[in-house]
Each structure stands twice: as C-alpha cells, then as structure tokens.
Amino acid sequence: MFHTKYDGFDDPFPDGRVFPGPLVIGCFSVDGTGTLTFDNTKMRYLKLPNAHEQVNYDLNEGYIDITKEPDEKKDNIDYVLRWLNQQREGRVEHGYESASPGQCISVNKLKDVFVCRRKFLETLISTPFEEQQGWKLSVIVHNDTIYMCQIGGETVPVPNSSVELWRKSCFWGWKLRQFITADDRGGNPVPTRPCNPLEEFDTVNKLEIQNHTLVYSSEIAAFDDEKQKYVSMKTCKKPTDVRQDKNFTRFKLQQWWAYCQLGGVSGVHVGYRDDNGIVTSLKYMSINDLLRYRRRWKDNICYHFLDGFLTWMKAVIKKSRPGTKVHLFEYFPGDKKKNYEDSIIRYSPQLNDEFNFLPSWFTEE
C-alpha cells in the first residue's frame, strides 16, 4: 500500500525549482458528432467585454444535465490513443502553432512513459488534500508503455450540497465560455448556441517529473490571442464570510491550480454568480494568484506525491504476479478522527479483463 500523508512530500522542490510546466507536443479537435481531427479547428478564442461594461449573464439558457460524460469519453482514453496512432503512422501534421517537429514524441520512444488524460492527473495530484472522495485507476502495460485510465471517475456532488444546484453549476461553468469566447479570431460570442458535450479542443502535453515522463490529453477552454496563452473559465459565488473564504482558498483554488498547472493554462477568468446562475462580475486570476491566495495546500506536496506514487507504481507492477492483465489502484480516504493519516492507495493485480480499457484497434496494430 501507499500512504498519501507522508511528511516527505513537503520537501522543497529539487534544486530550488518550481513545479514544471508541460510541453505541448500536439493537438486534436472533436466536433459535435464525435468526429476526431488532428488540428485546432475547435479551439475557441477569448472575447472579453469592455473593461467598463457591466456584465449580466444568465447562464441558464439552454440548460441540460452535463454531469455525466458522453459514452465516447467514459472510462477510456481513446482520443489520446488515436493521436498516438496517427503519430505511429506518420500522419500527424506538426504545423500546430504551439509545437514544432522537434518537440513531438515518437511512439517508438515510449518506454516507461505514462499515458492518460489530464482529468485524472488533476485528481491524482490533489489526493494528499482529498478527504472525502476515493478513486479507482486501471493501469495496463503495453509494449513497455504504461497506460492509465480512471474508472468511474465522474464528478459527484459535494457532500450535503443541493444536487440540483450542483447539476446547474456544472452547466453554468460551460455556459460562461459561450459568453466570453468565439469560434474564431474575428468572431463574436454566440451564447444562444445549444450545448454539445462532445465538442472539445485538446492539446497533447508532455510533462517531466523527476525520472518520469507523462503524455496526456488536456481539454482547453480558450486561447487568449492578445497574450498568446491558454485560459480557462470558472463560475462560483463570491465569498462573503470567513467560512466561505476558507473553503474557496482551500478547495476551489487547489482544483483550479491543478487544472491550469497540468494543462499549461495561464489562469482563470472567474464569473461571480448568484444561486440563480446570474453572473454580474468577472475577475481574472493568474496561476500565480492561485498560489498566492491558497490555504492548506502546497504545490511542492503535489509534486513529490506524484513522483512518489509513480515510482511506487512502477515498482509494484514490476513485481506483479505472472498473468496479470490489469493493475488496479484504489484510493481510500482515511478516518477524520485520525486526521486522515490512514489514507492509503491499495494495489491489486487483475487476472481478467474486467477493467481493460485498451481497444483492440490500438493493441493489435
């Protein structure tokens, strides 16, 4: 087992460095029908209102429940696998503006490389501070590459919260994008467009953590053409008392930081809303702002935890019993009465295909 509350995770960064940013090595787009193309056609562009303009965005228009992932994305990493297939076949164009041929990774050089989605990495590096929700991770080693996929990793309501308000708030975050982004550089926002959960633009990122290399897809909200940086949009209620401020700086900022840090995103445009989904003010928080105002979480702990867990994962896989097809890792939050010091990650080898997520079209090529 792996203990998540190890004191050594609070060591300084190696050689006085900071948490490394990812390198963009590719991208892909998914349209409303689920069709994947290896380009940036679905990248959206930031279009903020004038500084003096009073905003009044109703985020309820066109509301649908988007808390469950579409079947095309649930419990799989197919999009990044298809990108890797294109790399293998030499059909990915490297003219993408944030990457050059020298930055791309060869599928023939993926030994001991971890491949996954950013969504799980966000969950993983947040584990030392997660005291409520566990997670389950399926891992498969294929041709010396380590593929990781979270099983049943759908977003769940915060305990004791209103489920209906939670569902709406998930949609409101997506809806805010429509008010302040456009389809192209010269376009304008179209907030009346229906929501299509299939549409997305992703970068493919490469991240080095000590002796580990990770390659993962990262969904991107928008591109700030003026600053030439990726940005995100989030909605929340503005904290109005000490308790709300503590929760905001302890939980929200940590989640937003993980999203930005792993995605190579410069910051978050926050839409402050009421309980009815009406946004009346916008504020930009850079990734440095998220670190500056944090409470009870540290980026160095996230870094050392990730390094330690990946090192342990490689070790237990190497020692696994013959015939193991899938390696299953599960996080169990500890007992509040023990200050969660007994929080652990357990490993269990699987001799069957119950948690297999690699499709035959990928493994048989």
Q: Please report the pLDDT score of residue 42 as a whole number.
A: 97
Q: Averaged over 321-350, what is the pLDDT?
A: 90
Q: How far is CA 138 from CA 73, 179, 327, in A?
A: 15, 37, 6
Report pLDDT digits (tens) over 70-90. 777 788 999 999 999 988 766
For residues 287 and 257, is the Cβ–Cβ distance under 8 A? Answer: yes
Write down the pTM of the prediction: 0.92
Q: Please report the pLDDT score of residue 130 as a whole number.
A: 92
For residues 290 and 270, is the Cβ–Cβ distance under 8 A? Answer: no
Q: Dump the DSSP string for 70-103.
A: PTTTTT--HHHHHHHHHHHTT------TT--GGG
Residue 96 clears pLDDT 50, i.e. is over it: no
- State the pLDDT confidence band at 327, using cuts at 50, 70 and 90: very high
Residue 244 clears pLDDT 70, i.e. is over it: yes
Q: How far is CA 217 from the centre of its chain?
A: 8
Of residues 267 and 336, the one with the higher pLDDT is 267
Residues 6+ apart with CB under 8 A from 80: 115, 116, 117, 202, 204, 215, 216, 217
**How confident is the prediction for the chain on average, in pLDDT?**
90
Q: Averaged over 172-200, what is the pLDDT?
A: 94
Tokens linked to 175 = 């809806």
- For the ranges 30-44, 119-133, 150-164, 282-296, the lowest mean pLDDT is seen at 150-164
Report pLDDT digits (tens) over 277-325. 999 999 999 999 999 999 999 999 999 999 999 999 999 999 988 889 9
Q: What type of residue is 103?
A: Q
Cα-Cα end-to-end distance for the chain: 35
- For the ranges 264-273, 281-290, 339-348, the lowest mean pLDDT is seen at 339-348
Residue among 144, 150, 152, 137 nearest 350 (CA): 137
Q: What type of residue is 20?
A: P
